[in-house]
Structure 1
Amino acid sequence: MLASDFLRTVRRNLITVSAPIFVGYIIYCDYHACKNYKGPKVENGSTNNETQ
């Protein structure tokens, strides 16, 4: 009985810890891929306004 409770809490802790890391990792990679794809002009608003 103790072992199953322990495993249950470990599984719950693993999910609660890994979920934000997984989501953050996706957002982090998405952000950097976007930044690298669009180039440095998106980073600076002033240069973007000057070209228009």
Structure 2
Amino acid sequence: MGVISIDYRQPPNYTFPAALEDALVMWQELVKTHDVNRLALFGTSAGAVYC
């Protein structure tokens, strides 16, 4: 099992939807090289909103 942790852009330096865009780019790159049926997403705190 592997783990990827993204350091997405956060306020106050960046505004919405910067963090969401970062998460989406990460997902798009991940599905290019991995079977989506074997992937899971989770988040904690405010990051859970993007899962």
Report the TM range for the smaller structure's normalisation: 0.3 to 0.5
Whichever of the two has the greater Rg, that structure is 1
Return the TM-score normalized by structure 2.
0.38
Q: Which has the higher helix share?
A: 1
Return the TM-score normalized by structure 1.
0.37
